[in-house]
Amino acid sequence: MRLFVALEIPPGVRESLGEFLAVLRALSSQPRWVRTDNLHITLKFIGEVLPEKLGDIRAALSAVHSDRAVTLDFRGVGFFPNEKRPRVFWADVEASLNLGQLAGDIDSALEKLGVPPEKRPFSPHLTLARFEPPGLPEKLRAVIQENARREFGSVAAREFHLIESKLKPGGAEYTTLETFPFVVAEV
């Protein structure tokens, strides 16, 4: 099983991003566009695990809590590593400080089960497309630059999800295995 932990994107934000992506897809098929229904914010990529480890993972995740919801504002777009040689096109996520703490707590809980800890600092973003090979068609660049600070919506997240990813020829297929409410008492 290939697993990850993520926050879901609310329908209004998903719809706004979907409209924007439809415009971009019409301009270029060159990047590998993420399907709108697959949009999420990854908190922790777990990777391949044996099915018998699933119970331990669920138990570890159910112990992760926060005293308040995570607020997320989806605003702006950009590239990793940069616009000159993009590999990933993303929507920016401006989040409350407790999002980093939540991701760190999930990482720590899973590390106790032998899941390797993250080596890079947590950087919330929403992957919209992948460029293979890196490169950005000029007509796509122009529309993206016009929308560099576009607003897509906001959410206050109170739960995260354990998701299974099955890689298929038409793209990844995601199945939510369990939802974990993480807010114990709002401050």
Whichever domain contains 172, its CATH number is 3.90.1140.10
What pLDDT is recorded for position 150? Answer: 95
- Residue 168 falls inside a structural domain: yes
What pLDDT is recorded for position 138? Answer: 87
Beta bridge partners of 69: none
User: Predicted confidence band at 184 (pLDDT cuts at 50, 70, 90)?
Assistant: confident
What pLDDT is recorded for position 186? Answer: 61
Average pLDDT along the chain: 93
- Residue 113 falls inside a structural domain: yes
The one catalytic residue in 14, 40, 44, 161 is 40
Query: Which residues, 6 or more positions from 144, have their beta carbon under 8 angstroms from its beta carbon?
Result: 24, 77, 89, 136
CB 90 within 8 A of CB 78: yes
- Residue 186 falls inside a structural domain: no
40 is catalytic: yes
What pTM value is reported for the model? 0.90
Least confident of 53-67, 96-110, 162-176: 162-176
- Residue 143 falls inside a structural domain: yes
What pLDDT is recorded for position 187? Answer: 55
Q: Give the domain range for residue 102.
A: 2-181
- Residue 126 falls inside a structural domain: yes
- Residue 67 falls inside a structural domain: yes
pLDDT digits (tens, 9 = 90+) for 103-140: 999 999 999 999 999 998 998 999 999 998 878 888 89
User: Predicted confidence band at 43 (pLDDT cuts at 50, 70, 90)?
Assistant: very high
CA 165 to chain centre: 13
CA-based nearest residue to 122, from 3, 5, 1: 5
- Residue 22 falls inside a structural domain: yes
125 is catalytic: yes
What is the tally of structural domains in the chain?
1
| 3-state SS class at 12 | helix
DSSP string, 16-79: HHHHHHHHHHHH---SEEPPGGG-EEEEEEEEE--GGGHHHHHHHHHT--BSSPEEEEEEEEEE
- Residue 149 falls inside a structural domain: yes
The one catalytic residue in 125, 130, 150, 158 is 125
The dihedral through the CA atoms of 130, 84, 120, 122 has a sign that is negative
What pLDDT is recorded for position 135? Answer: 81
User: Predicted confidence band at 19 (pLDDT cuts at 50, 70, 90)?
Assistant: very high
Taking residues 77-101, report their average pLDDT.
93
